[in-house]
Amino acid sequence: MSTNRITVLAGFAVLSLPLTLQATTDPLLDDLELPTVLSATRLKQAPAEVPGSMTVLDRQLIRASGARDIPEILRLVPGMMIGYRSGNMMNVNYHGTNVTEARRLQVLVDGRSVYRPGFATVEWSSIPVSIEDIERIEVFRGPNTAAYGANALMGVINIITRHPRDYAGTTLKYTAGERGVRDWYFNQHFSQGDSNWRLSLAGMEDDGFDMFDDGEDYRDSRRLSRVNLSGAIPLTDTQSLELQIAASETSQQLYYDYGPFVDAIDPKRDTPGLYDQAISNHSPNSDSQLRDYSIQGLWKNDFNSDHSLQILAYAQQMSREQAWRACDSPIVFMDELKQLYDLNPTAARRVSKFLEYGDSAYDMRTAMQTSLGAEYTAQLGDLGETIKQQRSQFRNADPVCWDIDHNLQENRYHVEVQDTLRVNEQLRLMSGLSYRYDRATSETFFGGTLENTIAQAFTNIEYRPHQRWLFQLGGMFEDDHLIGSSFSPRVAGHFFVAPMHSLRLVYSEAVRSPDMFENNAYWSYPIKNPSSNAGTSSSYYATGIGPGDLEQEEARSTEIGYNGTFHNQGITLDVRLFDEHISNMNSEPLKIEDFYPNNDSSVQFKGAETQIDWQVGYADRLRVTYAHIVFEASSKLDQRLTPRHSGSAAWLHEWPFDINSSIIYYGADELNERRFERIDTRLEKRFQLATASALTLALTWQQRLDDEGLTWEENLYDSSSQYYLSAELNF
């Protein structure tokens, strides 16, 4: 994004406040309902009371965005970075870090964590929730391990679905457009006695990106289906039970996901042999199938207006099936290569690189000695030369082929008890306990099954000594069987310059536990159904073994902020100044031949964020976000996804005759070294067919203002614009 355009955006955010304060009070806004949030401390709080910065994406804003995927909605959150890896696969990072990983945000759906235990990722496409069923998304921006445990190092995203009682009748929706967009949604509300139920079915598909940077077609389409059954059952005057059963299935096209030890040689250096030709021609697809199943229940007992108790329990299973046939040189099963890798994995990688040259005249020992320097030994050189001679013999033979998979199944069982008590007008206390069991099963990644248990105890104390002062103290004690124990505190103080306007000072500490794969992997490729020339070996030369003693990543954050609601003018404003330092980071790209997770990296973020939401009467809504981030990262990989300037600007308008429109601008000056700017426009018309039925037609049009690939240079579309149409029938 150009600096001038960002400067204008920031200036509009700042200047709009004094202009609106001088505006004449609109009597239509006197009944403005002030929002509350739930995801900051687990207590229901007004925005000015939150010990940090919150962004609430409400239902109106979600619908106006026209987004088909949850990460696209999160572009409306200041400081939130959306990246794409492997084509259509999305990542969400707050303030940046490694573009291919998203390890440091806790993501919840109605309190259920969808942060996967085995690989510390969120499979956004496979979350079994349709956008049409989302009531709001609450995003806590900043460390929040004090409330939600070790994966909330940088923040919490809580996706809150609509209550079943908020539905009526039947809804049918269909969306179609360019790039193969074909989406459908069905919802049915029904009741039984005092209970309310909602059944939602949905499907999505699109073709992903159009082409690589060389113009070749990009094969990365996806197809997914979802089912979600939600019920609310009143048990007594004070007790209720909420149930949810959900499932999804996602198919994603992926390219050949295996890199041979010996690539086909460069024909400019040497003449390709039979092996080189076969390897160049061997590129089967390695498409994946993702399945996600969950069941959860929430029991609540409101003893009185000052005391409540709730129990949340859920079970979920997430699985991936991804299998294909790999081909490589018989060298990968040689004892000499295994010995070389065990002695020095770097030497094995150097040999792999040298063998690409194909020239039998060079001396492998000399090449390795020059490359390895002080690490070189005569034994390494002898092994390298032996492997080189074997390579010469295999060049005019067929490669070895065998069946390979990245299959994985992850299970989680979680139970949590939370008690909220208002002791008096000055003191409120929330406390709770939770227990979680995680299991990951993969013959490839773990050599079988790996288990873990996590116990938590958490609390948050609110104390109001005076109407102008609020102090909060919170903390989480967590015992992770595979990692150890930790305590994450947070302390915050608010000074209220007016009832809905507060200045805050927050200090918090947070941790992220390394996932099972980082710390406890046993990554190997068992030889299944090998070709006849595989010999007698039964194992691949390399094994990625987790260190088993990784420490937790640690974050320390200091924040100064302001939150205010100008009731008569319909304005809410939040400003955040932050200084965040993360140490003990693991930033290594984890490859089987180069598997070195460690705690050697660190990053520091400093900057400012603001968001302004202005409800201009009943017809117009203006919303502006802006983030300025200055950072220092020890790893180059953590420097790619942090733009210094980013933000959004939105205008929502309700026209006469049931017509709604929205225009939203998104921009970032550098996402993985690429500028990103886009304008999304949505136009909607509602036709009232009868008293209880209506038809809504909508057009969404996206226009890129830059000519860059999306995150990576190969993520390209053949057009800078896209549109899709939707028709929704309610009866």
**DSSP secondary structure letters along 315-334:** EEEEEEE-EEEEEE-GGGG-
SS3 of 27, please? helix
Q: 24-33 burial string, b = 16+ CB within 10 Å, else e?
A: eeeeebeebe
Find, among 108, 41, 52, 51, the residue nearest to 79 by Cα: 52
How far apart, in whole angstroms, are the C-alpha atoms of residue 148 and residue 107?
10
Residue 527's identity, in one-letter code, is I
How far apart, in whole angstroms, are the C-alpha atoms of residue 80 and residue 77?
6
402: CB partners within 8 A, 6+ apart:
325, 326, 525, 527, 528, 529, 530, 531, 534
Q: What is the mean pLDDT of the chain?
A: 90
How far apart, in whole angstroms, are the C-alpha atoms of residue 551 and residue 486?
11
pLDDT score recorded for residue 246: 97
How far apart, in whole angstroms, are the C-alpha atoms of residue 273 and residue 261?
16
Contact of 395 with 266, CB cutoff 8 Å: no
CA distances from 623 to 166, 375, 572, 654 (A): 26, 58, 10, 15
Name the stretches of the chain with pLDDT < 50: 3-4, 6-32
What percent of the chain lies above the pLDDT cut of 90? 69
SS3 of 260, please? coil
Q: In this structure, what token pair is assigned to residue 14?
A: 């700042």
Q: Rounded to the nearest 5°, which phi and psi values hold at 699? A: -120, 125
pLDDT score recorded for residue 500: 93
144: CB partners within 8 A, 6+ apart:
40, 52, 106, 152, 155, 156, 490, 508, 510
Burial of 193 (0-12, 13-18, 19+ CB in 10 A): exposed
Residues in the chain: 731
Beta-sheet strands, E only, within 383-515: 400-405, 408-422, 427-442, 448-466, 469-480, 484-498, 501-512
Sheet arrangement for strand 134-141: 53-58, 134-141, 155-161, 105-109, 112-113
Residue 558's identity, in one-letter code, is T
323: CB partners within 8 A, 6+ apart:
286, 403, 404, 405, 406, 407
DSSP 218: P
How far apart, in whole angstroms, are the C-alpha atoms of residue 614 and residue 637?
38
How far apart, in whole angstroms, are the C-alpha atoms of residue 687 and residue 659?
9
Contact of 78 with 141, CB cutoff 8 Å: yes
pLDDT score recorded for residue 85: 78
Give residue-wise pLDDT tens across range 31-67.
Answer: 445 678 888 999 999 999 999 999 999 999 999 999 9
Helix axes 345-355, 364-372, angle to 10 degrees: 130
SS3 of 151, please? coil
- DSSP string over 537-586: --S-S--EE--S-PPPEEEEEEEEEEEEEETTTTEEEEEEEEEEEEEEE-
Contact of 83 with 91, CB cutoff 8 Å: yes
pLDDT score recorded for residue 318: 94
pLDDT score recorded for residue 637: 82
Helix axes 345-355, 335-343, angle to 10 degrees: 130
Place of tokens 């984890």: 590
How far apart, in whole angstroms, are the C-alpha atoms of residue 567 and residue 26?
10
Strand pairing class (105-109; 155-161): parallel
The DSSP bridge partners found for residue 315 are 295, 413
- Which strand (E) or helix (H) includes residue 281? helix 274-281
How far apart, in whole angstroms, are the C-alpha atoms of residue 505 and residue 356?
58
pLDDT score recorded for residue 477: 97
Q: How far apart are the first and last CA of the chain?
A: 44
pLDDT score recorded for residue 358: 65
pLDDT score recorded for residue 9: 45
404: CB partners within 8 A, 6+ apart:
258, 323, 324, 325, 326, 444, 525, 528
